[in-house]
Structure 1
Amino acid sequence: MNRLQHIRGHMLADKNMNIATTLPSPLTTHVLNTAQGVPGANMTISLHRLNPISSEWYLLTTGITNDDGRCPGLITKESFIAGVYKMHFETGKYWDALGETCFYPYVEVIFTISDPSQKYHVPLLLSRFSYSTYRGS
Protein backbone atom coordinates (compact mmCIF):
# COMPACT_ATOMS: atom_id res chain seq x y z
CA MET A 1 0.00 0.00 0.00
CA ASN A 2 2.87 2.43 0.67
CA ARG A 3 4.02 2.07 -2.96
CA LEU A 4 0.56 3.06 -4.24
CA GLN A 5 0.46 6.05 -1.92
CA HIS A 6 3.91 7.06 -3.16
CA ILE A 7 2.77 6.85 -6.80
CA ARG A 8 -0.44 8.72 -5.96
CA GLY A 9 1.64 11.47 -4.34
CA HIS A 10 3.63 11.89 -7.56
CA MET A 11 0.46 11.99 -9.63
CA LEU A 12 -1.10 14.65 -7.41
CA ALA A 13 2.10 16.69 -7.47
CA ASP A 14 2.12 16.56 -11.27
CA LYS A 15 -1.56 17.46 -11.39
CA ASN A 16 -1.03 20.42 -9.07
CA MET A 17 1.98 21.54 -11.09
CA ASN A 18 -0.08 21.53 -14.27
CA ILE A 19 -2.80 23.54 -12.57
CA ALA A 20 -0.24 26.11 -11.42
CA THR A 21 1.28 26.51 -14.88
CA THR A 22 -2.13 26.97 -16.49
CA LEU A 23 -3.23 29.81 -14.23
CA PRO A 24 -3.89 32.88 -16.37
CA SER A 25 -0.86 35.11 -16.72
CA PRO A 26 -1.31 38.87 -17.19
CA LEU A 27 1.50 38.67 -19.76
CA THR A 28 1.34 36.24 -22.67
CA THR A 29 3.25 35.56 -25.85
CA HIS A 30 2.78 33.54 -29.01
CA VAL A 31 5.69 32.67 -31.30
CA LEU A 32 4.74 32.07 -34.92
CA ASN A 33 7.16 30.68 -37.50
CA THR A 34 5.87 32.66 -40.47
CA ALA A 35 8.41 31.11 -42.85
CA GLN A 36 6.87 27.67 -42.43
CA GLY A 37 3.39 28.70 -41.34
CA VAL A 38 3.57 26.87 -38.00
CA PRO A 39 3.75 27.78 -34.32
CA GLY A 40 7.24 28.32 -32.91
CA ALA A 41 7.30 25.30 -30.61
CA ASN A 42 10.13 24.44 -28.20
CA MET A 43 11.67 27.90 -28.05
CA THR A 44 13.23 29.04 -24.79
CA ILE A 45 11.98 32.39 -23.52
CA SER A 46 13.18 34.31 -20.48
CA LEU A 47 11.41 37.21 -18.83
CA HIS A 48 13.37 39.97 -17.10
CA ARG A 49 12.51 43.18 -15.25
CA LEU A 50 14.74 46.25 -15.16
CA ASN A 51 15.74 47.56 -11.76
CA PRO A 52 15.23 51.33 -12.16
CA ILE A 53 17.82 52.13 -9.49
CA SER A 54 20.72 49.93 -10.63
CA SER A 55 19.72 49.68 -14.33
CA GLU A 56 20.33 45.92 -14.11
CA TRP A 57 18.06 43.28 -15.60
CA TYR A 58 16.72 40.67 -13.19
CA LEU A 59 15.62 37.28 -14.45
CA LEU A 60 12.04 36.58 -13.39
CA THR A 61 11.33 33.30 -15.16
CA THR A 62 12.28 31.03 -18.02
CA GLY A 63 9.97 28.85 -20.07
CA ILE A 64 9.70 26.88 -23.30
CA THR A 65 6.95 27.40 -25.84
CA ASN A 66 4.47 24.57 -26.19
CA ASP A 67 3.29 22.91 -29.41
CA ASP A 68 1.10 25.95 -30.11
CA GLY A 69 4.02 28.39 -29.72
CA ARG A 70 2.74 29.71 -26.40
CA CYS A 71 4.44 29.88 -23.03
CA PRO A 72 1.73 29.77 -20.37
CA GLY A 73 2.35 30.92 -16.82
CA LEU A 74 5.09 33.45 -17.58
CA ILE A 75 4.35 35.57 -14.52
CA THR A 76 1.76 35.64 -11.76
CA LYS A 77 -0.58 38.56 -11.21
CA GLU A 78 1.09 39.13 -7.83
CA SER A 79 4.57 39.43 -9.40
CA PHE A 80 3.43 41.62 -12.28
CA ILE A 81 4.17 45.22 -11.32
CA ALA A 82 4.70 48.44 -13.24
CA GLY A 83 8.12 48.69 -14.83
CA VAL A 84 10.28 47.95 -17.85
CA TYR A 85 10.38 44.31 -18.96
CA LYS A 86 12.38 42.30 -21.47
CA MET A 87 11.40 39.06 -23.18
CA HIS A 88 14.44 37.21 -24.52
CA PHE A 89 13.65 34.67 -27.27
CA GLU A 90 16.34 32.07 -28.14
CA THR A 91 15.74 32.18 -31.89
CA GLY A 92 19.16 30.85 -32.93
CA LYS A 93 18.75 27.64 -30.92
CA TYR A 94 15.22 27.29 -32.27
CA TRP A 95 16.38 27.42 -35.90
CA ASP A 96 19.39 25.17 -35.13
CA ALA A 97 16.99 22.52 -33.80
CA LEU A 98 15.14 22.71 -37.14
CA GLY A 99 18.41 22.26 -39.04
CA GLU A 100 18.34 25.86 -40.29
CA THR A 101 20.55 28.90 -39.92
CA CYS A 102 19.30 32.37 -39.06
CA PHE A 103 20.46 35.95 -38.99
CA TYR A 104 19.29 36.82 -35.46
CA PRO A 105 20.72 34.52 -32.74
CA TYR A 106 18.19 35.91 -30.28
CA VAL A 107 15.44 38.50 -30.14
CA GLU A 108 14.87 40.80 -27.20
CA VAL A 109 11.62 42.70 -26.91
CA ILE A 110 11.70 45.49 -24.32
CA PHE A 111 8.46 47.11 -23.23
CA THR A 112 6.96 49.24 -20.48
CA ILE A 113 4.11 48.14 -18.23
CA SER A 114 2.34 51.15 -16.76
CA ASP A 115 -0.91 49.49 -15.70
CA PRO A 116 -0.33 45.94 -14.41
CA SER A 117 -4.08 45.40 -13.97
CA GLN A 118 -4.39 45.09 -17.77
CA LYS A 119 -3.54 42.03 -19.82
CA TYR A 120 -0.61 42.26 -22.22
CA HIS A 121 0.11 40.01 -25.20
CA VAL A 122 3.50 40.23 -26.95
CA PRO A 123 3.58 37.96 -30.01
CA LEU A 124 6.72 37.26 -32.04
CA LEU A 125 6.36 36.67 -35.77
CA LEU A 126 9.54 35.00 -36.94
CA SER A 127 11.41 33.86 -40.02
CA ARG A 128 15.09 33.04 -40.43
CA PHE A 129 15.94 36.58 -41.54
CA SER A 130 13.29 38.78 -39.98
CA TYR A 131 10.96 39.22 -37.03
CA SER A 132 8.22 41.55 -35.91
CA THR A 133 6.22 42.07 -32.75
CA TYR A 134 3.37 44.19 -31.50
CA ARG A 135 1.15 44.63 -28.48
CA GLY A 136 -1.71 42.28 -29.02
CA SER A 137 -4.87 41.70 -27.06
Structure 2
Amino acid sequence: MSKAKRNPKADRLRENDSLNLHPERVRAEHFRNSAFFDPHDLVQVKYEMLREVSHGGAPKAQAAASYGMSRQAFYQALNAFTLGGIAGLLPGQRGPKGAHKLTDEVVAFVEQRQAEDPGLHARALAGTLREELDLDVHPRSIERALARKKKR
Protein backbone atom coordinates (compact mmCIF):
# COMPACT_ATOMS: atom_id res chain seq x y z
CA MET A 1 0.00 0.00 0.00
CA SER A 2 1.44 3.37 -0.95
CA LYS A 3 0.62 6.48 0.98
CA ALA A 4 -0.27 9.64 -0.88
CA LYS A 5 2.27 12.42 -0.41
CA ARG A 6 1.22 14.95 2.18
CA ASN A 7 1.05 18.51 1.00
CA PRO A 8 2.06 20.79 3.91
CA LYS A 9 0.72 23.90 2.17
CA ALA A 10 -2.68 22.28 1.60
CA ASP A 11 -2.71 21.14 5.24
CA ARG A 12 -1.99 24.69 6.42
CA LEU A 13 -4.63 26.15 4.09
CA ARG A 14 -7.15 23.63 5.41
CA GLU A 15 -6.30 24.54 9.02
CA ASN A 16 -6.91 28.22 8.22
CA ASP A 17 -10.14 27.58 6.29
CA SER A 18 -8.54 29.06 3.18
CA LEU A 19 -8.31 25.87 1.13
CA ASN A 20 -10.26 26.22 -2.10
CA LEU A 21 -12.56 23.21 -2.07
CA HIS A 22 -13.05 23.41 -5.84
CA PRO A 23 -9.67 24.19 -7.44
CA GLU A 24 -10.81 22.44 -10.62
CA ARG A 25 -13.24 25.32 -11.24
CA VAL A 26 -10.37 27.83 -11.57
CA ARG A 27 -9.90 28.18 -15.32
CA ALA A 28 -7.71 31.30 -15.37
CA GLU A 29 -4.75 30.57 -17.65
CA HIS A 30 -2.00 31.66 -15.26
CA PHE A 31 -3.23 29.15 -12.64
CA ARG A 32 -2.58 26.22 -14.99
CA ASN A 33 0.78 24.49 -14.51
CA SER A 34 2.26 27.26 -12.40
CA ALA A 35 4.42 26.84 -9.33
CA PHE A 36 3.46 30.31 -8.12
CA PHE A 37 -0.29 30.49 -8.79
CA ASP A 38 -2.05 27.86 -6.71
CA PRO A 39 -5.74 27.18 -7.38
CA HIS A 40 -5.95 25.54 -3.94
CA ASP A 41 -5.14 28.88 -2.23
CA LEU A 42 -8.52 30.59 -1.91
CA VAL A 43 -7.06 33.95 -0.82
CA GLN A 44 -4.76 34.04 -3.84
CA VAL A 45 -7.58 33.04 -6.18
CA LYS A 46 -9.82 35.81 -4.85
CA TYR A 47 -7.06 38.41 -5.03
CA GLU A 48 -6.16 37.51 -8.60
CA MET A 49 -9.84 37.62 -9.57
CA LEU A 50 -10.14 41.16 -8.16
CA ARG A 51 -6.85 42.21 -9.79
CA GLU A 52 -7.99 40.95 -13.18
CA VAL A 53 -11.07 43.17 -12.97
CA SER A 54 -9.39 46.28 -11.56
CA HIS A 55 -6.15 46.18 -13.58
CA GLY A 56 -6.99 43.89 -16.46
CA GLY A 57 -10.35 45.42 -17.24
CA ALA A 58 -12.16 42.07 -17.34
CA PRO A 59 -15.94 42.11 -16.82
CA LYS A 60 -16.85 41.11 -13.29
CA ALA A 61 -19.08 38.17 -14.20
CA GLN A 62 -16.47 36.82 -16.62
CA ALA A 63 -13.68 37.09 -14.05
CA ALA A 64 -15.80 35.43 -11.39
CA ALA A 65 -16.53 32.50 -13.70
CA SER A 66 -12.88 32.24 -14.75
CA TYR A 67 -11.82 31.93 -11.11
CA GLY A 68 -14.55 29.46 -10.20
CA MET A 69 -16.59 31.97 -8.22
CA SER A 70 -20.12 33.30 -8.39
CA ARG A 71 -20.86 36.99 -8.98
CA GLN A 72 -22.01 37.19 -5.37
CA ALA A 73 -18.66 35.77 -4.21
CA PHE A 74 -16.91 38.38 -6.38
CA TYR A 75 -18.79 41.25 -4.73
CA GLN A 76 -18.22 39.80 -1.25
CA ALA A 77 -14.49 39.53 -1.98
CA LEU A 78 -14.43 43.07 -3.37
CA ASN A 79 -16.14 44.43 -0.27
CA ALA A 80 -13.84 42.47 2.05
CA PHE A 81 -10.77 43.68 0.14
CA THR A 82 -11.98 47.28 0.11
CA LEU A 83 -12.50 47.22 3.87
CA GLY A 84 -9.46 45.19 4.91
CA GLY A 85 -6.99 44.80 2.07
CA ILE A 86 -5.56 41.34 1.52
CA ALA A 87 -6.22 40.53 5.19
CA GLY A 88 -9.90 41.10 4.43
CA LEU A 89 -9.80 38.13 2.06
CA LEU A 90 -8.79 35.81 4.89
CA PRO A 91 -11.66 33.71 6.20
CA GLY A 92 -13.61 35.37 8.99
CA GLN A 93 -15.15 34.06 12.14
CA ARG A 94 -18.03 31.74 11.44
CA GLY A 95 -21.28 31.75 13.32
CA PRO A 96 -22.84 34.55 15.34
CA LYS A 97 -20.73 37.68 15.57
CA GLY A 98 -22.07 38.75 18.93
CA ALA A 99 -24.55 38.05 21.65
CA HIS A 100 -27.78 37.39 19.77
CA LYS A 101 -29.94 36.56 22.79
CA LEU A 102 -28.56 39.19 25.14
CA THR A 103 -29.66 42.28 23.27
CA ASP A 104 -29.31 45.73 24.84
CA GLU A 105 -32.92 45.47 26.07
CA VAL A 106 -32.30 42.10 27.74
CA VAL A 107 -29.10 43.35 29.38
CA ALA A 108 -31.01 46.40 30.64
CA PHE A 109 -33.65 44.04 32.06
CA VAL A 110 -30.90 42.03 33.82
CA GLU A 111 -29.30 45.20 35.19
CA GLN A 112 -32.65 46.39 36.50
CA ARG A 113 -33.21 43.07 38.29
CA GLN A 114 -29.71 43.25 39.75
CA ALA A 115 -30.30 46.83 40.92
CA GLU A 116 -33.48 45.70 42.68
CA ASP A 117 -31.64 42.78 44.31
CA PRO A 118 -27.83 43.20 44.35
CA GLY A 119 -27.41 39.64 45.69
CA LEU A 120 -28.92 38.17 42.53
CA HIS A 121 -26.32 36.08 40.73
CA ALA A 122 -26.10 34.92 37.11
CA ARG A 123 -27.75 31.53 37.77
CA ALA A 124 -30.79 33.21 39.35
CA LEU A 125 -30.86 35.82 36.57
CA ALA A 126 -30.88 33.02 33.98
CA GLY A 127 -33.91 31.55 35.76
CA THR A 128 -35.62 34.93 35.78
CA LEU A 129 -35.01 35.35 32.04
CA ARG A 130 -36.41 31.89 31.41
CA GLU A 131 -39.55 32.56 33.49
CA GLU A 132 -40.31 36.14 32.54
CA LEU A 133 -39.00 36.45 28.96
CA ASP A 134 -39.05 32.79 27.87
CA LEU A 135 -35.36 33.19 27.03
CA ASP A 136 -32.87 30.40 27.75
CA VAL A 137 -29.45 31.96 28.45
CA HIS A 138 -26.45 30.34 30.10
CA PRO A 139 -25.37 32.03 33.35
CA ARG A 140 -21.82 32.50 32.02
CA SER A 141 -23.22 34.40 29.02
CA ILE A 142 -24.98 36.75 31.43
CA GLU A 143 -21.73 37.29 33.35
CA ARG A 144 -19.86 38.09 30.13
CA ALA A 145 -22.57 40.49 28.92
CA LEU A 146 -22.53 42.36 32.22
CA ALA A 147 -18.71 42.53 32.15
CA ARG A 148 -18.79 43.92 28.58
CA LYS A 149 -21.36 46.51 29.62
CA LYS A 150 -19.26 47.49 32.62
CA LYS A 151 -16.17 48.00 30.38
CA ARG A 152 -18.04 50.51 28.22
Q: What TM bracket, shorter-length normalisation?
A: under 0.3
Structure ranking higher on relative contact order (CA contacts 8 Å, 6+ apart): 1
Larger gyration radius, structure 1 or structure 2: 2
Structure 1 length-normalised TM: 0.24
Question: Whose strand proportion is higher, 1 or 2?
Answer: 1
Question: Whose helix proportion is higher, 1 or 2?
Answer: 2
Structure 2 length-normalised TM: 0.22
